Amino acid sequence: VSKGKIFLVGLGPGAADQMSGRARQAIAESAVVVGYAKYLDLIKDLLDGKESIRKGMTQEVDRCVAACELARDGKTVALVSSGDIGVYGMAGLTYEVLLQSGWTPGDGIGVELIPGITALSACASLVGAPLGHDFCTISLSDLLTPWPVIAQRLEAAGRGDFVIALYNPRSGRRQGQLVEARRILLRDRRPDTPVAIVHSAYRERQSVQLSTLEAMTDCDIGMLSTVLIGNSSTYFDAGLMITPRGYGRKYADLTGEVKEGERSGRSLSMGLGGWKACARRFLRDNQSHSLRQVARYFDVPSGEVLEAICEAGDKDPAGVYAAASIRPGKEADVLEAARDWGRLRAVVRNEAGAVSELLLHAIDFSRRGDWLNLENEHFHLHVNWSRVHRAWMLRRGDDLRSLYFTDERQDVVFNLSLVRKEGELEEAAVQCFEQAWNQLCVGPKQ
Ligand SMILES: C[S@@+](CC[C@H](N)C(=O)[O-])C[C@H]1O[C@@H](n2cnc3c(N)ncnc32)[C@H](O)[C@@H]1O
């Protein structure tokens, strides 16, 4: 029996000249073409003399099963889809159907996937260069994806300042999803963030609307629209939507000299290897800032700033701050040592922003299993000790001595500070603190 073959073909956005040569060739080599009726209409010129199997919009599984059965009968089949067949397309489903029937690559029927221009790049090309920096796609279709999952992705993309392409933004029955997406994105993004809505790119009824995040829901948006939402630096100019790549951060102007402090061909001074030095410079220039304020300024967890302070050197001090990290595995030891530090202030913040500040005596804490219990006759506070990943000691001039416990993401779980008496730290407590620093920290710095 001759082996059949399935071509998984991405047709591109719609216009014949946006289809790849290989896609055309694959259709020419196929005896049967399977696809959604409207996509087959887009390529009717290529179907002469071929069997074509037209299926409805919701019959994706039927299309895959039909293609697999025909290939098993020895036929060469093209399963076609708009855009890229691997992007919200039928490639995954076809592989699943095949694998579930015991098929493995290289054994039995052949499979070749032919990429196509996806809606994302097709639509972007019609409005300028909105994808000039990191971007993501999110489908608002909740027919197969639970809404909480979609909402979480919107939230993460908003927080991460990604340019976002919304696929399946709205249909006759799904009107509320785009309104909800806008509400979520407005938490992190300005209302005047540029938005482009491209409808039927490279097809007969192609249209482009330029709008803003605030106003986008008033636009004409349907099943064949893709919504491109800019990031915090995207702008409109002369009717074009542009997301800059960041050249302005490095060069005085686009053709000009490298800016002071930057080096051609090297990471930006705020790159991985340099941003901590920038944080230390900021600490030198802003001595009254708290650790938390600095973390907010750089939009990083406080643990990252603690790390930047730890790496300070004589030539590169962190202003009035010095820090050291507790040796791994010694986090509980420093807690024990803190029993000799007299009165302490514990600060715990919850995710909603409530802050508890508790004055306690070292004797007030105990450990039970995963929990660290801070309790006396006035309060009971239970901290999940299993979240503690690292511990840090921090000095700020003569007025602050603190212990920070951070989780795996470098967020603060809680912190403890020596309490001042009449404006001064108690000398005995400071001595015990310094002793713990010398005994328990990695490469203690004086
Ligand atoms: C199921 S997805 C299929 C995506 C397709 N596989 C691709 O790579 O473009 C359908 C969604 O893609 C977007 N889309 C597909 N073709 C488009 C076009 N020509 N113009 C604008 N958006 C398009 C729309 O958001 C539509 O709701």
pLDDT: which is higher, 259 or 218: 218
What spacing in Å lies between the alpha carbon of 267 and ligand 1's midpoint? 36
- For ligand 1, pick from 84, 226, 227 the residue to mutate: most ligand atoms within 8 Å of CB: 226
Q: Tens of pLDDT along 104-120? A: 998 789 999 999 999 99
State the pairing for strand pair 163-167/135-139. parallel
Q: Tens of pLDDT along 363-384? A: 788 889 999 998 888 888 899 9
The pLDDT of residue 254 is 66
Q: Tens of pLDDT along 237-291? A: 999 999 999 888 888 876 678 888 898 888 898 999 899 999 999 999 999 999 9
The answer to whether residue 444 scores a pLDDT higher than 50 is no
The answer to whether residue 390 scores a pLDDT higher than 80 is yes
Phi, psi of 252 (to 5 degrees): -60, -45
The pLDDT of residue 309 is 97
The pLDDT of residue 38 is 87
Which uninterrupted H or E stretch holds 42?
helix 37-42
What spacing in Å lies between the alpha carbon of 336 and ligand 1's midpoint? 60
- The pocket around ligand 1, CB under 6 angstroms, is made up of 13-14, 81-84, 87-89, 118-119, 122-123, 167-168, 198, 200-203, 223-226
Name, in order, each residue with C-beta under 8 angstroms of 115's C-beta and a sequence gap of 6 or more. 10, 20, 84, 85, 86
Q: Tens of pLDDT along 309-348? A: 999 999 999 999 999 999 999 999 999 999 889 899 999 9
The pLDDT of residue 260 is 87
Percent of the chain with pLDDT over 90: 80
The answer to whether residue 1 scores a pLDDT higher than 60 is no
C-alpha closest to that of 215 among 199, 196, 231, 232 = 196
Which residue's CA is the nearest one to ligand 1's atom 15? 119
The pLDDT of residue 58 is 72
CA-angle at 389, arms to 383 and 394, nearest 5°: 85
Phi, psi of 341 (to 5 degrees): -100, 10
What spacing in Å lies between the alpha carbon of 143 and ligand 1's midpoint? 16
pTM: 0.90
pLDDT band at residue 446 under the 50/70/90 scheme: very low
The answer to whether residue 35 scores a pLDDT higher than 60 is yes
The pLDDT of residue 2 is 60
d(CA 155, CA 150): 9
Which uninterrupted H or E stretch holds 365?
strand 365-368
C-alpha closest to that of 182 among 140, 142, 129, 126 = 140
The per-residue DSSP string of 249-303 comes to HHBSSTTSPBPTT--TTS--TTSTTTHHHHHHHHHHH-TT--HHHHHHHHTS-HH
Question: Token digits for 190?
Answer: 């300005």
Q: Do the beta carbons of residue 333 and residue 440 sit within 8 Å? A: yes
- Chain centre to alpha carbon of residue 153: 8
Neighbours of 92 (CB within 10 A): 14
| pLDDT-wise least confident of 98-102, 164-168, 199-203, 235-239 | 98-102
C-alpha closest to that of 322 among 278, 345, 291 = 291
Mean pLDDT over each residue of the chain, to the nearest integer: 93
What spacing in Å lies between the alpha carbon of 278 and ligand 1's midpoint? 43
Which residue's CA is the nearest one to ligand 1's atom 5? 83
| pLDDT-wise least confident of 10-14, 81-85, 131-135, 442-446 | 442-446
The residue assigned the tokens 């992007």 is 87
